[in-house]
């Protein structure tokens, strides 16, 4: 096997077709045994439930090449658990977590030539997803589903790598109370598209969404949770039933406490207090930790003391520790790293 001839250092966050993908079909109330296939195209009815009523859910995780040259994945069982909770909320069958983890390993292994080498800053993004595939015209869930996993080599999610971002407070809501904000359903992203295009057209990298009920509390961005650092080095993250339970955020809170000895708090964060924080970052699989330098709320600017040139010191430590664990430079907590090969 030889690595593909890709300019790893200059990859953005885009789709590059790789050799193999995993597919399993759910028909007559059961999943088939699944297989790796070559064909990246999907044929389905014009009336497939996913096309008419957006019955689709997904996950995102990454495969890394460690310092010693192994290929590893990070906490895939948590992605499997979250896909299961998304499936239940969306009236879809659960793909068993052990089979989920196996399907990720198999797909990454089959595309090993696309896993970026250690030290390039790139990773192999893994996208598992499931959708309702049979024709449905009255509003109801599908009976038949397809689960798939594809991979694509990626660089940083935000242009400019780890340079602090400027984001805006969105005029749109992302998720309703008692809605679907806490699961990873395609519909959450569909409804954020107008908001992200608006933000980009205005020169912002992302949106800060506030809670839809009161518009006074911080929720998350379109693709990442928030982490804040107080002036006395406490790490604070918003608690809400309508945000996605980020695996990166949960891991970083553990790292902050257990590796860095910092105080951590998961609690409601009022927008009014954001101006008092020392550092702000966006965390997620794609975002890793992307520092935020400035938040603009209808012309009012909140500029964090960490500035627009580099990450704040605590954000940097969190970033170095998490990526150190993922790339095998630091010892990982039990069960966090799964070796693919
Ligand atoms: N929030 C949203 C809306 C996301 O799409 C993601 C990405 O998966 C996250 C947060 C971060 O979650 P994770 O760290 O599990 O990737
Ligand atoms: C991820 O971080 O895996 C996501 O799904 C976020 C998405 C906006 C790319």
Residues 140 and 205 reside in one and the same domain: no
Boundaries of domain holding 234: 165-325
Query: Per the domain annotation, does 160 fall within a domain?
Result: no
Q: Which SS3 state, helix, strand or coil, does residue 163 take?
A: coil
**Cα of 79 vs its chain's centroid, Å:** 10
Please tell me what DSSP assigns to residue 209: P
Residues 178 and 320 reside in one and the same domain: yes
Residue where one domain finishes, among candidates 123, 154, 185: 154
Find the residues whose C-beta lies inside 6 A of ligand 2. 60, 223, 284-286
Residues 136 and 40 reside in one and the same domain: yes
Q: Scanning the structure block, which residue is given the tokens 């969404």?
A: 209
CB 109 within 8 A of CB 20: no
CA-CA distance, 53 to 49, in Å (whole number)?
5
CB contact set of 230 (below 8 Å; sequence gap of 6+) = 236, 276, 277, 278
- Name the residue at shortest CA distance from atom 3 of ligand 1: 223
Model confidence pLDDT, tens digit, residues 254-309: 999 999 999 999 999 999 999 999 999 999 999 999 999 999 999 999 999 999 99
Q: Among all ligands shown, which has an atom nearest to the Cα of 206?
A: 2
Query: Per the domain annotation, does 264 fall within a domain?
Result: yes
CA 137 – ligand 2 centroid, Å: 30
Model confidence pLDDT, tens digit, residues 214-225: 999 999 999 999
Model confidence pLDDT, tens digit, residues 55-67: 999 999 999 999 9
Q: Among all ligands shown, which has an atom nearest to the Cα of 248?
A: 1
Q: What is the pLDDT of residue 104?
A: 98
Assign 160 a pLDDT band (cuts: 50, 70, 90). confident
Residue 233: which CATH number?
Answer: 3.20.10.10
Model confidence pLDDT, tens digit, residues 326-336: 999 999 999 99
Which residue of the set 20, 62, 168, 184 is catalytic?
A: 184
Q: What is the pLDDT of residue 1?
A: 64
CA-CA distance, 47 to 137, in Å (whole number)?
7
Q: What is the pLDDT of residue 285?
A: 98
CA-CA distance, 253 to 227, in Å (whole number)?
9
Report in angstroms the alpha-carbon separations of 324 from 1, 57, 229, 327, 331: 27, 30, 21, 5, 8
CA 75 – ligand 1 centroid, Å: 14
CB contact set of 102 (below 8 Å; sequence gap of 6+) = none
Residues 105 and 206 reside in one and the same domain: no
Residues 239 and 124 reside in one and the same domain: no
Residues 117 and 208 reside in one and the same domain: no
Residue 108: which CATH number?
Answer: 3.30.470.10
Q: What is the pLDDT of residue 313?
A: 97
CA-CA distance, 249 to 145, in Å (whole number)?
30
Model confidence pLDDT, tens digit, residues 86-101: 999 999 999 999 999 9
**Into how many domains does the chain fold?**
2
Query: Per the domain annotation, does 331 fall within a domain?
Result: no
Q: Scanning the structure block, which residue is given the tokens 């397809």?
A: 146
184 catalytically annotated: yes
Query: Per the domain annotation, does 339 fall within a domain?
Result: no
Nearest CA to 131 out of 189, 186, 181 is that of 186
Task: Work out which ligand 2 atom sits closest to the CA atom of 287.
Answer: 2
CB contact set of 34 (below 8 Å; sequence gap of 6+) = 22, 23, 24, 99, 103, 147
Residues 148 and 73 reside in one and the same domain: yes
Q: Does the pLDDT value for residue 7 go beyond 80?
A: yes
Q: What is the pLDDT of residue 228?
A: 98
């Amino acid at each position: 096997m030889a690595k593909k001839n890709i300019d790893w250092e200059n990859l953005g966050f885009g789709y590059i077709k790789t050799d193999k993908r995993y597919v399993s079909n759910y028909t007559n109330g059961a999943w088939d045994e699944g297989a790796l296939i070559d064909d990246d195209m999907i044929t389905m009815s014009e009336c497939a439930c996913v096309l008419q009523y957006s019955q689709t859910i997904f996950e995102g995780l990454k495969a890394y090449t460690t310092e010693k040259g192994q290929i590893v994945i990070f906490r895939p069982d948590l992605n499997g658990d979250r896909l299961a909770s998304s499936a239940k909320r969306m009236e879809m069958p659960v793909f068993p977590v052990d089979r989920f983890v196996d399907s990720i390993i198999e797909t990454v292994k089959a595309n090993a030539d696309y896993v970026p080498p250690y030290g390039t800053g790139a990773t192999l993004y893994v996208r598992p997803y499931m959708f309702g595939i049979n024709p449905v015209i009255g509003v109801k869930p599908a009976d038949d589903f397809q689960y798939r996993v594809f991979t694509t080599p990626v660089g940083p999610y935000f242009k400019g790598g780890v340079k602090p971002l400027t984001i805006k407070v969105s005029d749109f809501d992302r998720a309703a109370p008692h809605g679907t904000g806490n699961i990873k359903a395609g519909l959450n992203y569909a409804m954020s598209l107008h908001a992200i295009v608006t933000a980009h057209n205005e020169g912002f990298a992302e949106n800060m969404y506030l809670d839809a009920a009161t518009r006074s509390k911080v929720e998350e961005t379109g693709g990442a949770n928030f982490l804040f650092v107080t002036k006395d080095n406490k790490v604070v993250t918003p608690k809400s039933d309508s945000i996605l339970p980020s695996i990166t955020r949960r891991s970083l809170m553990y790292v902050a406490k257990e590796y860095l000895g910092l105080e951590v708090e998961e609690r409601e964060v009022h927008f009014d207090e954001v101006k008092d924080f020392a550092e702000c970052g966006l965390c997620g699989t794609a975002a890793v930790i992307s520092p935020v330098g400035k938040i603009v709320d209808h012309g009012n600017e909140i500029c964090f003391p960490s500035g627009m040139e580099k990450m704040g010191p605590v954000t940097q430590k969190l970033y170095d520790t998490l990526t150190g664990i993922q790339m095998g430079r630091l010892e990982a907590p039990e069960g966090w790293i799964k070796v693919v090969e």
